[in-house]
Every structure is written in C-alpha cells, then in structure tokens.
Structure 1
Amino acid sequence: MNVALIQRRTVALLCGTQVIGGMGVAIGLSVGALLAARLAGTGLSGVAQSAAVVGGALMAVPATRVMTVWGRRAGLALAYAAGGLGSVLIVVAAATTWVPLLFLGMMLFGGGTTGNLQARYAAVDLAAPERRAREMSLVVWATTIGAVAAPNFASLADDATSGFGLPVLTGPFAFSAAAFVLAAVILLVFLRPDPLLTARRLSSQGTAPRRAFRPALRAIAGLPAARLGMAAAAVGHMVMVGVMSMTPVHLGTYHGDADVLRVVGIVLSLHIAGMYALSPLVGLLTDRLGRRPVILGGVGLLLAACALAGTAEHDTVRLSAGLFVLGLGWSCTMVAGSTLLSESVPAEVRPAAQGLSDMVMGLAGASAGALAGFLVELSGYATLNLLAAIATVPLVALALRPVAVLKGTEGAAD
C-alpha cells in the first residue's frame, strides 16, 4: 500500500471540499447576525450567531462517533448534511418570521463548520510526523479560496433568489444549502480509502478504538501538552467568535442599508483571509519552531487585534486591519493547538479527543458570541474587545509552563 500516494490524494480531495464548504459557511455567516437582528432584535443577534457555534460544537459528538466506527468519510458527510438542512430551515424561518425555527436552523447550520474543522484532522491521519502541522495547515488554507470570496457575493445571492420570493437576507443561506450538500456527496463518493480506517489498519498497536469521550478526557487531563493544545484552540476560537460575531452589527450602526452588505463583505473577507490565507506559513513555523512558540505568537496577535478593533470606532480601515489580525491569531492557536493535541494523545482515543476538543472549542466560542450581543448593547463594541483581550490571560499562563513534547511521537511528558 502506497501510503504517501493515499495521503496526497486525501489532502487534495479535502482541499477541494474545503473550498465548497468554506463558501457555504462564510456566505451564510456574513449575513447571519443581520438577519437575526432583523427578526429578533440586536440583543438576540449574538445569541443566533452563537446557536450556529453551539450547533457546530454539539455536532462534533455524533460526527466523531460516526467517524470512529465508519471513518472520516461518513462523519464529515453527516456534518455537512446537517448544515444543509439548517440552511433550509433558516430560509423557512425568515419567510414565516418564526424566531425559534431560526435558532434551530442556525444550530444545524453549524454542522457545516463542524465539517470544515474536522477535515483538518483527516489530513493528519496518514501524515508523516515531521509534516503534521503543514499537512493540516494546507487543508485549513484551502478554505480561503471559497470563504474569502463568498461574503462579497452575499448581495448578489440575495438578488438572485429574490425572484423566487425569498425574504431579504436569505439568499446566501440558499446558496449555503447547495454548497453543503455538494460537499457531502463528493466526500461520500470519492474519499476512498478512508484515511482514518487506513491509519488504523496500518497501526502496529492493534488497540481497539474507543468511542466514549470519558477515556479521551482522562487522556487529555493527564497530559500537559494535550491540555495546552485543547486550551489554545478553545481560547483562540472564543476570542475570534466574540469579536467577529458583533462586527457586522457594529458596522450597521454607521452604514446605511444600501452599503452595509458591501462593507460587511469586504471586512469579513479580510478577516477570513487572516484566518486561512497564511495557514501554510503557520504550519511551517509550527513544525520548525515548535507548537508552544506559535501558540504564544497567536495570543500576541489576538491582543493586537482587540486593540485595533476596539479603538477603531467608525474607522472602517482600522477595523478591517483588526479583523485581519484577529483571523491570523486564530490561525496560529488553531493549527499549533490542534497539532499538539493530536500528537499528544494515544491513538485509540485520538478521534474522540479531537471531537472533544472541537466541542469544547465550539462551546467556548458560543458562550462568547451569546454574551457579545448583550455586551455591545449595554456597553459598546470597545468593551467587548477589552474583555476578549483579558480572556487570553489563562492561556498565556498555561503556555508559559514548562511542557516537553516528544516530537513525532504518540505522547507527551513533563
């Protein structure tokens, strides 16, 4: 069996579906807060965005269980299918002005995010130890192609679907549904052989996989490197979601209805470029410099982003720069943290540990997003950025603790 050939084919296919799935996630999220604000008010707009994050976090549980038994192919397809169903429900909720259905749809929409995030682990299953971060970062980077362009087509998508009688701001979600379904079908048909099942067959350990999260939690709790990897992904995601989710609403306070979609599209495109475009460089630095230095660098970028965005007021250029740096900081904590977690836990609990990490990460982001709308309404966008910066302090303390990682091995030790 030519493992290198299978790995190259797997990464290429994952990159293709990341483009499609990234378009589906980005074009919907670009107008999600605006649609929620229109239907439920500004205070609940953050809750609606958080529903998508919670949904993505919770979808990691069934997706991981399916992957453990049937492989990455089935689990990723399940996540994207849930995202497609959620997109349809959001359109129906807007047409009927039924707010609870909007929240349910946003939760299922989060399945698209689960698919995009879990795909990065599929790139590591058969990767050589010295290339794990780079292989993961290539799949993360592929999201750039679709995700950066997609928010700029939100207005066009809305215009294209208006002739079918769809409500304002729902056209992007109709396109999301199509993108998620297409990604699911491609994975089901072409992701063969399955990378996780192949890696399991090639493993010399012969240990049966464990589906329960409890053994994975015990493994993470007992390994300092694994704890740091999970914390880096969770804190970086929490800061990013909290600030990003309220940026469209903040822009809407000083841009009229005619301009807001265009401006939001530009700002979020720059943000998404920061998240994904430089991820191959982040992966290279992670492999060469180490996981912990890149995590600390990511925290520094998150702090700089909060300073820029929090002091931008009505300066859209400064705000755009802040959102770009915010995305870059997220990329550092995500790639380095996920790589560190994956290589630190035993093989038999690895899929469950990865799913658990994504669930914690998603719930952390959801909490930030849920509070963000109320914070902005009560005290303003600058206060939100200040609190987001303070939230990085525990991660800095954890990253500065001495942690020796056995590079390229299955575990970590003090």
Structure 2
Amino acid sequence: MDLQALKSEATWLQSYIDSPEKQKQLYRRTLLIVVMSQIFGGAGLAAGVTVGALLAEEMLGTNSLAGMPAALFTLGSALAAWLVGRFSQRYGRRFGLAAGFITGGIGAIGVVTAAAFDQVFLLFVSLFIYGAGTATNLQARYAGTDLAAPKQRATAISVAMVSTTFGAVAGPNLVSVMGEFATFIGIPALAGPFILAAVAFILAGLVLLIFLRPDPLIVAKALADAKISDDSKQSVQKVEATAIHKRGMMVGATVMVLTQIVMVAIMTMTPVHMKHHGHGLSEVGMVIGIHIAAMYLPSLVTGFLVDKVGRTIMAIASGVTLLSAGLLAAFAPTDSMLGLTTALALLGLGWNFGLISGTALIIDSTSPSTRAKTQGTVDVLVALAGASGGAMSGMVVAHSSYATLSLAGGVLALLLVPVVVWSRRKVGTE
C-alpha cells in the first residue's frame, strides 16, 4: 500500500474514531447487510443439506454411504471456519466472509457438475468445498457485533440468526421446483437444489463484498487502538482482564460445544426412532420442521434476554432446557406426536439459548486484534462437536436405545450449570 493510500485510510478511520454517531450508523448499516447476506446464505445451506444424502444414494446405488455428504461438508465447514476466521482477521470481515460464501458456491457448482457427469469422486470433493458456505453462514453472525455495545451484542447475533431462518425455510420448499428445472436442463433432479445453493451462496458473498464497507472489524480495531494508553495502572488492569477473558472464552466455547453435541445427537436419531415406531415421513417432517423453527425463530427474544438478564443465566437456562428435552424424548410414549414434537422444540430452544449466550461470551472475551481468528477457531470446535454428536448418536442407539441417548444428552447438557457457575464465582462477572 503506497503512502497516499495509507493517509487516505487513516483519514476515514479517524472520522469514525471521532464520531460516535458515525459508529452507530455503520453498526446499523452492517446489520442490514448481514441480514441480506444471511437470507441468501440460509437458502444455500438448507437447499443443499436437504437432498445431499439422497443424491449420494442415487449416484452410488446404495445407502451405505448416504451419510458421507453430511460428514464431508461438516469437515469442510470446520476447515473453512478456521480459514475464514484468519482471513477475516487479516483482511477484514468483508473479504473473509465473501471468500467463504463464494467458495461454498463453487462447491455447489461442483456438486451439480458431478451429478451431471456421474462423477462420484468429484461429488465428494465438491461437498467438502460446499462446507465453506455452511461455515461462513455461521461466521457471519459475528460481523454485526464488531461495533455493537456490550449490551447490544447478543441482540446483533440474534438478528443474523433470525435472518438465516427466512432462507432456511425457503430453501427446502423450493426443492421440487429446482428439481423440475434441473430435469428440464438435462441433469438429475436431485442436483436442482444445489443450483439454488450455488446462486444463493455466491449472491451472499457478492452482497458482502460490494456493500460491507467500511469494514466493521477494521473500524473496531482502529477504535480499540485509539483507546490504548501507556498508563501503568491500565497495564495492571490489562493483565487482570486477560485472565478474565481467557476464562470467558473457555466457558463460551464449552457452552457452544456441549449444546451442539446434544442437539445434533438427539436430532439425528429422532427420524430413525420415529420411523421404527410407525411414524410416516410427513410426521417426521413436521417434528423436524418445528425443531428447526425453535432453533432460530426465538433468536430476537433470546438475544434481548442474553443482553438484559446476562450470559450466565441464559447459559444455565440452555442446560436446563436441553435436560428437559432429553427427559421428555426418553420417556414420552413412542406413539405420542405431542411428546416428541415438544421434546424436539425444547431441544431447538435450548440450542438457541446456548449458541447465543456462548457467542456473546466469546465476543465479550476477545479484542478486535484477535477476535476473528479466535471466533473461527471456536467455530471449528463447534463443527467438530456436531460431527461427533451425529456419529456417536448412531452407535449409542445401536447398542442401547433412543431413550438412553436422550437421557445421556440431557445429563451432558446439565454440565453447563456447574461450568458456568464456577466461572462466575472465579471471575466475578455476570
């Protein structure tokens, strides 16, 4: 970067440092751009996930590897979360998130190409790359928080999550339409939703690349640098704050990882459990649909509560809610749609509480100088936790029962309570 460009950057950054009003305007603008990108991102995520296993089964001629798509884009999302976090830290949210979404779109194009030419190896490679879109869709929730005040952070997270819901609901409902379009252009019908995923992810990336400027993370870094002082008293306070922040990061990560494991484990095996006890696909679809709605739709209320009553209380509420879900899933009569529906709704709600409170704890515990890469690392753990929960759930049910899995999940979630209480006692924060 030449001297003139450096001077120009310093000038516009200083204008934000000197103007709280400009900071507020940029915060609101950033939220709007994140909402737009998340609607597209949600459509790309849901449309592809809905038919991934079916496409693999059709191309392979067997259902023995039908779980490979979920495993591949979960692993791909874990790697992408790490890369997007570091790329965002170095170049800003705009380039990091745009690169992640566009990469996911390229992966979706690869899936369509693999289906058109019946190339299984290309399918698996492309599904791995497609995972970048799912990771970026989750990482984008952080962008709206960079300029948020501490008491606005959870609300900003919740706005991004609610926005994802609109796309996530629209995506599966367009499966048949996109299937007909795919057949019309001469490719397998199950590749159709991936055409939608490619367009949606690339549009999400372009929205961020074109409109997310000034970059909120770059401005947040400049604001943080402006507050640095050589005062020795502040240096002591900084050392104490560092210890507090390390504990906060550990607790935030623990909350998100545990809730992800429990949610994915029970959710994954619920359709299998229902099918084995005579429930039809329409009933399975209704239960899972309500579960997904409970994961995202309460976000605005949850964000408000996390900001108002505190991260600790809502993290504990997550553990208790997930325990209730596990108990109800374990003991509800197998023919009771009401029992299973309520259990899965509570499972989604408990996950929602945990993700938003845990994310807020991570943001509270990081500075702009390291925030993006730390968030990326935590999301890697969350992605791997989900993969582990899904893999272990099948083994538990195969060797025991769905009731045992649900009880184990509820008890595991309850570990959040002593972890969070311990953190509060040690650190002395909310």
Residue in 2 that maps onto 1:232: 255
* 1:197 counterpart = 2:218: yes
CA contact (8 A) 1:46 1:373 kept: no
- Cα distance between partner residues in 2 of 1:8 and 1:137: 14
Distance 1:255 1:104, change over 3 A: farther
- Cα distance between partner residues in 1 of 2:90 and 2:112: 34
Greater shift after overlay, 333-342 or 92-101?
92-101
* 1:277 counterpart = 2:297: yes
- Cα distance between partner residues in 2 of 1:132 and 1:254: 43
Task: Tell me how far 1:135 sits from its aligned partner.
Answer: 1.5
Alignment of 1:162-241 (within 5 A): 162-203=183-224, 204-205=226-227, 223-241=246-264
Greater shift after overlay, 121-130 or 219-228?
219-228
Residue in 2 that maps onto 1:339: 360
Secondary structure in structure 2 of the residue aligned to 1:68: helix
| Root mean square deviation, CA, Å | 3.0
Q: C-alpha offsets along residues 318-363 of structure 1, whole Å, 9 cap, x if unaligned?
A: 4343332222111110110010111123442222211111111111
CA contact (8 A) 2:88 2:373 kept: no
Alignment of 1:41-60 (within 5 A): 42=63, 44-60=65-81
Residue in 2 that maps onto 1:319: 340
Among 226, 235, 242, the alignment partner of 2:265 is: 242
* 1:74 counterpart = 2:101: no
Distance 1:28 1:395, change over 3 A: same
Percent identity of equivalent pairs: 38
- Cα distance between partner residues in 2 of 1:237 and 1:355: 16
Among 13, 16, 25, the alignment partner of 2:36 is: 16
Distance 1:82 1:255, change over 3 A: farther
- Cα distance between partner residues in 1 of 2:259 and 2:154: 17
Q: C-alpha offsets along residues 255-294 of structure 1, whole Å, 9 cap, x if unaligned?
A: 89xx74x656544432221111111110111111110110
CA contact (8 A) 2:363 2:371 kept: yes
* 1:287 counterpart = 2:307: yes
Structure ranking higher on relative contact order (CA contacts 8 Å, 6+ apart): 1
Greater shift after overlay, 224-233 or 6-15?
224-233
Distance 1:374 1:127, change over 3 A: same
Letter in 2 for 1:228: V
Among 405, 424, 429, the alignment partner of 1:403 is: 424
Unmatched 5+ stretches in structure 1 = 208-218, 407-411
- Cα distance between partner residues in 2 of 1:24 and 1:11: 20
- Cα distance between partner residues in 1 of 2:269 and 2:317: 25
Q: C-alpha offsets along residues 228-269 of structure 1, whole Å, 9 cap, x if unaligned?
A: 11111111122222333444555666789xx74x65654443
Computing the radius of gyration over CA atoms, which structure comes out larger, 1 or 2?
A: 2
Task: Tell me how far 1:52 sits from its aligned partner.
Answer: 1.9
CA contact (8 A) 1:50 1:369 kept: no
Letter in 1 for 2:390: G
Greater shift after overlay, 19-28 or 85-94?
85-94
CA contact (8 A) 1:151 1:266 kept: no
Letter in 2 for 1:227: M
Secondary structure in structure 1 of the residue aligned to 2:418: helix
Secondary structure in structure 1 of the residue aligned to 2:422: coil
- Cα distance between partner residues in 1 of 2:122 and 2:377: 27
Greater shift after overlay, 237-246 or 97-106?
97-106
Residue in 1 that maps onto 2:349: 328
Greater shift after overlay, 396-405 or 229-238?
396-405
Among 102, 109, 120, the alignment partner of 2:130 is: 109
Greater shift after overlay, 262-271 or 178-187?
262-271
Letter in 1 for 2:46: A
Greater shift after overlay, 28-37 or 141-150?
28-37
CA contact (8 A) 1:83 1:112 kept: yes
Residue in 1 that maps onto 2:157: 136
- Cα distance between partner residues in 2 of 1:263 and 1:284: 33
Distance 1:223 1:283, change over 3 A: same
Residue in 2 that maps onto 1:148: 169
Letter in 2 for 1:193: P
- Cα distance between partner residues in 1 of 2:53 and 2:243: 35
CA contact (8 A) 2:146 2:368 kept: no
